[in-house]
Chains A and B, each alone.
Chain A
Amino acid sequence: MPTTVDPAFGALADMCAMATSDKVDETTFCEALFDPESSTPVGLVGPDGETAPKRFSVYRNNVVVSLCDALGDTFPAVKNLLGDEYFGALARAFVTRHPPKSPVLLHYGADFAGFVESFPPLEAYPYLADVARLEWAWLQAYHATDQVPLDPSRLSSVDAQSVGAVRFRRHPAAQVVTSRWPVWDLVRANRFDPSADIQIDLQLAQSVLLTRPELSVDMLLLRPGADIFVCALFDGAMLAESAEAAQKAFENFSLSDCLSDCLSTGAFADLDVA
């Protein structure tokens, strides 16, 4: 794994303008928090009335470390792949460039996969961004709105002539992560099933359907063409046209198997017959 991290500071250092008086305002405090090269603001003192760098560094440390920890909680497979030390450096770089915009930290990290993808030192590990995407999708599924999935018998009750025109509504937790890398194997080996004997074959392209019919998130490895099919259905296309799109891409696409996967995992909330 690479070991260097670009030390440049981004959004925060830019955002916090310079201030000079002994009166310490938020802007001064904030700028000093994110720039370890800057000195402790004059006016923040210890009991002797003197400026106290080590005391101020407690805040510096709390801010950065707690945000890095939050990322580590959201992306444990990425962390495991990179190792604690490298992940810590990567998280620090991300935190300084993309600090959270909301106090609801369970939504922090939406930009992380994109950051990993465009992080030059990680160019040699192109699958990492998709691992992060899958972990982010898992978190969204975990916190998604509760909804009872579509009862599969609803589809059986649609008359044969109308089935092709059925449109499904995506369940709030359901998502597809499409990848040209073995993301399903990587995430299982590095997070959900670390003791399993999983051989990583980087030639393998894997796409995953995430669902949460009740409380736990399920991940299903999609069959060839199924990602095209399910994404088309989630985009509101009719069943017939979604199947056609998948068949065009994969000759052996099995409509009945893929549809049955979707229904049994709770990918849909409802259906409409045209």
Chain B
Amino acid sequence: MFPDSPSQTPTRIDASVPARAGAGLKAEHIAEILETSADIGFFEVHAENYMGDGGMPHRQLEAIREKYPLSLHGVGLSIGGEGPLDRDHLQRLAVLNKRYEPGLFSEHLAWSSHETTYLNDLLPVPYDQETLDRVCDHIDEVQESVGRRMLLENPSTYVAFAQSTMSELDFLKEITRRTGCGLLLDVNNVHVSCTNHERSALDYLDAFPIGAVGEIHLGGHAPDQDDAGRPLLIDAHDRGVDQAVWALYEHLIASTGAIPTLIEWDNDVPAWPVLMSEAQAADRILADNSRPSIRRVG
């Protein structure tokens, strides 16, 4: 199934990610994906899972990359952090970009490291001038170090900062204006955050700077309640895409046209056919709106 030697020069298909559905790559699905030559637009991986030196993970990813375009999604750079970006980590991201030639490269509007400690969660940032300036500086540094434009993902949040002085949308718009980065629009995150903060997800989507969007994420969330008994949705990625999120997605795609769309399912990962059927559901919506999107970045 794998090439004999890691040094063997592979023959890869083109890097560019089509305006189709893709899926988050899970190790337990790889054999079936390759054996069945799964008809899917692309795969996305978490960059940090491929930061070992060698062995099976890299061999498997190379086998996937030969047959499919790839999206490289970082989860640990802490772009929203108060401290400087981790230069070693930037270098590792640059190496992975060079090695696998992903068609899309993205990270989060969040922080995950404090001083020397890595917290392994996407923590929220206040939407104020100080944070905006810092995030823009960090994105400039990422794009310079990695040598390409990145996409920044809108967060799912459970609390708001009383100190925020602007809306999340204004914050994101200003980032794209100043840094030239694109956006990864996570529709599940929109639904989760808007529910948690009692805002209209439709209004949010309609006002989103869609021209900057290079990729869409869809995923599952877990329902809970906050202290006052209000709905509190948790971005758990542990189940299928919720009906409300599908409805938002259809609404969005009807107005934007097709955009590469990823199904995320990271916990309680199902058998491959179940994940594939979620991707096929997104593909049907994309096919119904197959005119090219307004403008794609990536």
* Contacts A54-B226, A63-B119, A101-B118 given; does A24 touch B163 at CB 8 Å: yes
Whether the Cβ atoms of B54 and A145 lie closer than 8 Å is yes
Does A99 interact with chain B (Cβ within 8 Å)? yes
> What's the interface size class on A, roughly?
35 or more
| Minimum CB–CB distance for B90 against chain A, Å | 11
Does A131 interact with chain B (Cβ within 8 Å)? no
| Minimum CB–CB distance for A260 against chain B, Å | 25
Chain A 53-68 per-residue mask, 1 if CB under 8 angstroms from chain B, else 0:
1111011001100110
Does A29 interact with chain B (Cβ within 8 Å)? yes
Whether the Cβ atoms of B112 and A59 lie closer than 8 Å is no
- Taking a contact as CB atoms closer than 8 A, the residue among A26, A43, A56 that contacts B81 in the complex is A26
Residues in A whose Cβ lies below 8 Å from that of B77: 103
Q: How far is the CA of A231 from the CA of B112 in the complex (A)?
A: 40
Residues in B whose Cβ lies below 8 Å from that of A58: 158, 224, 232, 234
* Contacts A22-B163, A44-B161 given; does A215 touch B55 at CB 8 Å: yes
Q: How far is the CA of A227 from the CA of B115 in the complex (A)?
A: 41
- Taking a contact as CB atoms closer than 8 A, the residue among B2, B81, B118, B161 that contacts A102 in the complex is B118
Whether the Cβ atoms of A101 and B232 lie closer than 8 Å is no
Q: How far is the CA of A131 from the CA of B83 in the complex (A)?
A: 37
Within 8 A of A (CB), among B220-261: 224-228, 230, 232, 234
* Contacts A43-B163, A49-B162 given; does A29 touch B123 at CB 8 Å: yes
Does A194 interact with chain B (Cβ within 8 Å)? no
Whether the Cβ atoms of B48 and A16 lie closer than 8 Å is no
Does A47 interact with chain B (Cβ within 8 Å)? yes
Does A114 interact with chain B (Cβ within 8 Å)? no
Residue on B nearest A103 in the bound complex, by CB: B76
Q: Specify the main secondary structure of chain B where it touches its partner.
A: loop
| Minimum CB–CB distance for A218 against chain B, Å | 13
Q: How far is the CA of A189 from the CA of B113 in the complex (A)?
A: 37
| Minimum CB–CB distance for A18 against chain B, Å | 15
Whether the Cβ atoms of B51 and A104 lie closer than 8 Å is yes
- Taking a contact as CB atoms closer than 8 A, the residue among A55, A104, A106 that contacts B226 in the complex is A55
Does A245 interact with chain B (Cβ within 8 Å)? no
- Taking a contact as CB atoms closer than 8 A, the residue among A50, A63, A143 that contacts B55 in the complex is A143
| Interface, chain B (partner A; CB < 8 A) | 2, 5-7, 48-49, 51-59, 75-78, 81-83, 86, 89, 92, 111-121, 123, 126, 158-163, 196-198, 224-228, 230, 232, 234
5 nearest A-B residue pairs (beta carbon): A103-B76, A143-B52, A146-B54, A47-B198, A44-B159
